Amino acid sequence: MNFTERKTVYFETAGSQNTELVLKLAKEYAQGEGIEDILVASTTGETGARASEVFENFNVVVVTHHSSFVKPGTLELREENRRKILERGAKLLTATHALSGVERAVRKKFTTILPLELIAHALRLFGEGTKVCVEISVMAADAGLIPVDKNIVAIAGTGRGADTALVIKPASASDFFSLEVRETIAKPRILMRYGTS
């Protein structure tokens, strides 16, 4: 038999209290496997700023909510966090969410759901962080900020902070079904259910 054994950390609860351990575990994994590309979902930029500090000398891409996600014409990313992220050499990506986009407007206007949001809801069966890790991998691949031919580490969370880290071979949106979630570094064992995309 040909197999590999890996350590996976399962948190008893989802949430930002897991952030520091997730970043530590993800860094250890990336260093051990020679992975250079780290994706981090960050709404206000707090987790992104911390990750840009922890992952010094990596290709760190911090992915934020798009403008108008919560309130028209506003971005949730805080200016002081944006500055810290960029000063440490990390990149920022603010783009339409790969697993909602215009489909969210269709759902709101016509109260129906389309394929992208179905995919998002199916991924949430593994946790909010899993869905976000997959989504930001597609967004960063589309932006040309990460390779699509080798593994990356994607970090996300449930609400705020980080509670999930996955090893992913990314793909662009036009080649979505080539994406592979290869390993789980950490994730919540018990899921919180909320969100629409």
CB atoms within 10 A of CB 110: 9
Report the DSSP beta bridge partners of residue 35: none
Mean pLDDT rounded to a whole number for the chain: 93
Question: Helix axis angle, 115-123 relative to 128-142, nearest 10°?
Answer: 130
Amino acid in the structure at residue 49: A
Q: From CA 11, how far away is CA 23, in angstroms rounded?
A: 14
**Residue 98 per-residue DSSP state:** T
CATH class of 9-188: alpha beta
Write down the pLDDT at residue 194: 53
pLDDT given at position 197: 44
- Pick out the chain residues at pLDDT < 70: 193-197
User: Cα–Cα distance between 8 and 56 in angstroms, integer?
Assistant: 24
Can you spell out the DSSP letters for 127-180?
A: -HHHHHHHHHHHHHHHTTSS-SSS-EEEEE-SSSS--EEEEEE---GGGGGG-E
How far apart, in whole angstroms, are the C-alpha atoms of residue 33 and residue 163? Answer: 21
Maximum pairwise Cα distance, the chain = 56
Q: What is the pLDDT of residues 84-132, one digit of tens each?
A: 999 999 999 999 898 988 888 898 899 988 999 999 999 999 999 999 9
How much is the pLDDT for 196? 46
